[in-house]
Copies of this chain bind each other. A is one copy, B any other.
């Protein structure tokens, strides 16, 4: 019983290390390509992706929340993108102490080009995985995420 529990525990630690290793490997490859091809960084790409997905721009705090980074980091990223002419800030109509960030026309076009190439890179990097394995892995990862959320949130645990 104790041996079975220890084995199950080791299997889950291995699972976490492999999840992390696969994600890191992928991020490293994408990071390098974004730098070499577009002279940009993964966090800047992520900011542009979040703004592209949001009609009418986002407040700084909403942007931080979506990127899961601190407000301080978001400010640094938005400053850099503003210097590049990719985003602009405007004072929020509803709250004059806060402001909204959105892509400029040039930023939206640049992101469209990058996103298409980025999708090709992802397809290429994961091309060695057979179609049925990709679909199966996707389903398992989706279930894993839900299991993690349930485990991380005690209010959900109470219903189990």
Interface residues in chain A, defined as those with a beta carbon under 8 Å from any beta carbon in chain B? 8-9, 11-16, 18-26, 28-29, 32, 68, 119-120, 122-129, 131, 133-138, 140-152
In contact, A129 and B18 (Cβ under 8 angstroms): no
Interface of A, helix, strand, loop or mixed by DSSP = helix
Known: A19-B141, A23-B20. A12 touches B147 (CB 8 A): no
Which single residue of chain B is at the shortest CB-CB distance from A31? B68
Which single residue of chain B is at the shortest CB-CB distance from A137? B140
List chain B residues, Cβ under 8 A from A128. 146-148, 150-151
In contact, A123 and B19 (Cβ under 8 angstroms): no
In contact, A126 and B147 (Cβ under 8 angstroms): yes
B9, B127, B129, B144: the one contacting A22 at CB < 8 Å is: B144
Which single residue of chain B is at the shortest CB-CB distance from A127? B151
In contact, A138 and B14 (Cβ under 8 angstroms): yes
B11, B119, B127: the one contacting A135 at CB < 8 Å is: B11
Most central of A22, A29, A123, A145 by chain B CB within 10 Å: A22
Known: A122-B12, A126-B12, A126-B16. A28 touches B152 (CB 8 A): yes
